[in-house]
Amino acid sequence: MEAETITSKIFEDVIHRNPGESDFHQAVKEVLETLDPVLKKHPEYVDYKIIERICEPERQVIFRVPWQDDQGKIHVNRGFRVGFNSLLGPYKGGLRFHPSVYLGTIKFLAFEQVFKNAITGMPIGGGKGGSDFDPKGRSENEIMRFCQSFITELYPYIGGNIDVPAGDIGVGAREIGYLFGQYKRITHSYESGVLTGKNPKWGGSLARKEATGYGCVFFADEMLKVRGKALEGKNCLVSGSGNVAIYAMEKLTALGARVIACSDSNGVIYHPQGIQLDTVKEIKEVKRQRIHLYTHEYKEAQYIEGGNIWDIPCDIALPCATQNELDENSARKLVANGCIAVSEGANMPTTPGGVKVFHEAEIAYGPGKAANAGGVATSALEMQQNASRDSWSFDTVEQRLHSIMRNIHQECFETAAEYGYSNNYVVGANILGFRRVAEAMLAFGII
């Protein structure tokens, strides 16, 4: 059977077995579409049903999360943890607390995580979890009670050699602290390596908070370098204003670029003279308020309520908010306005139509599974520090991160060229990650 026919049939089966999970379908399709040349070169992957096994999670845990708010009202949310593939190491991937979360979201993120983790070269498998709980507007005590209830249900399924969750949207060091505290209380064990993204004062890694954003910028820098260009002096758009976006903006500025716009779910801040990051940090990390407050400090800045950040002309775009935030029309607008590079800080933020536009325009496009792998890579470095009961300096971790991102870029670049798709980082990342997992699956037998 031809490789194209094989992948088409597998995708049909995925849709049939996972009805209504559109995010998961999109993630699987994006990977399968790039694997035909690998299957032609390695027919043993077909014989041993490697793709069929990779597309089926090893474990899916769904549970009830009851909790009580400050007024005494009882709420019931749903929790998830999907362990997709553990052939290269324990499941590794974040927890997302957001009202949009459903099983299809978690499966898409976990599936992507398998390949992202594989291309880091670190000994970690792929998983993801979360809940449809919305932390916005909740008090500290409400968030604590929710986290304690969540981990009370999840704790039997995680561990340093089994599954190591981290943070994601809605889950930062505060939430990780509450989760870890309850895990410690239940297990009577100080198992530092069970969660990553911890505060450096009690087992976390320096530079972990910055890692995803920094890594996304390092990847963009490498893409530009092979094209004889540089970040310095470039105007940049960074969607979002959460953890990934904030530290992408910080590293862009440090490397001489100018960030002229950022956003949140309500609107866009456009500041042609350059976004003042200290103000964004104060609004988002301290006050936990909406981004429109930025204009209270800088009257020359413009707030566009409900606006589309991708309408603003730029040299470089970093989508760092959420999945499918950058569609085909926005991609065309970016290209028409002179954008030369896109590096994804979020997971699958560009729709398939948008990706096609970028490839047709032959601009540098770094997909999330490569460009935002710095976060999980640094989580693996945190696991190493926990295992040795050690703590590394910020500079040491950042140097390791920079080296990892440079290697990811180089290997994706070379893999794409090997299979006849020069400069296509989507193909390079997918094939690189797939082959690493596939070879482990062959070595371990039919499990």
Instruction: Identify the residue whose tokens are 């295992």.
Output: 387
Distance CA 55, CA 111 (A): 8
Q: Which two tokens stand for residue 420?
A: 């006849």
Put the strands of the sheet holding 91-97 in their side by side order: 59-68, 74-85, 125-131, 91-97, 163-167
Q: How far is CA 390 from CA 122, 142, 147, 205, 212, in A?
A: 18, 33, 27, 10, 22
Distance CA 173, CA 72 (A): 26
For the residues of 212-228, what is the DSSP string, one character each? HHHHHHHHHHHHHHTTT
What's the farthest any 2 CA atoms get from each other in the chain? Answer: 64
Q: For residue 300, what is the enclosing H or E element?
A: none
Ligand-binding site membership of 113 (annotated) = yes
Please count the helices (runs of H) and the strands (runs of E) in the chain.
18, 12
Q: Which two tokens stand for residue 154?
A: 């999840």
Ligand-binding site membership of 92 (annotated) = yes
Phi/psi at 258 (nearest 5 deg)?
A: -120, 120
Instruction: Give, as one character, the DSSP assignment of residue 274.
Output: -
Three-state DSSP class for 340?
A: coil
Number of Cβ within 10 Å of residue 91's Cβ equals 29
Q: Which two tokens stand for residue 188?
A: 């009577």
Q: For residue 399, what is the enclosing H or E element?
A: helix 394-418
Distance CA 444, CA 446 (A): 7
Ligand-binding site membership of 212 (annotated) = yes
Query: Where are any strands of DSSP class E within 219-325?
Result: 235-239, 258-264, 267-270, 302-305, 316-319
Marked catalytic residue, from 41, 107, 128, 287: 128
For the residues of 97-146, what is the DSSP string, one character each? E-TT--HHHHHHHHHHHHHHHHHHTSS-EEEEEEES---TT--HHHHHHH
Any catalytic annotation for residue 9?
no
Query: Residues annotated in the binding site, as ranges?
Result: 92, 113, 116, 167, 212, 243, 379
- Would you list which residues are annotated within the binding site for substrate? 92, 113, 116, 167, 379
**Which residues does the annotation place in the binding site for NAD(+)?**
212, 243
For the annotated catalytic residues, the residue numbers are: 128
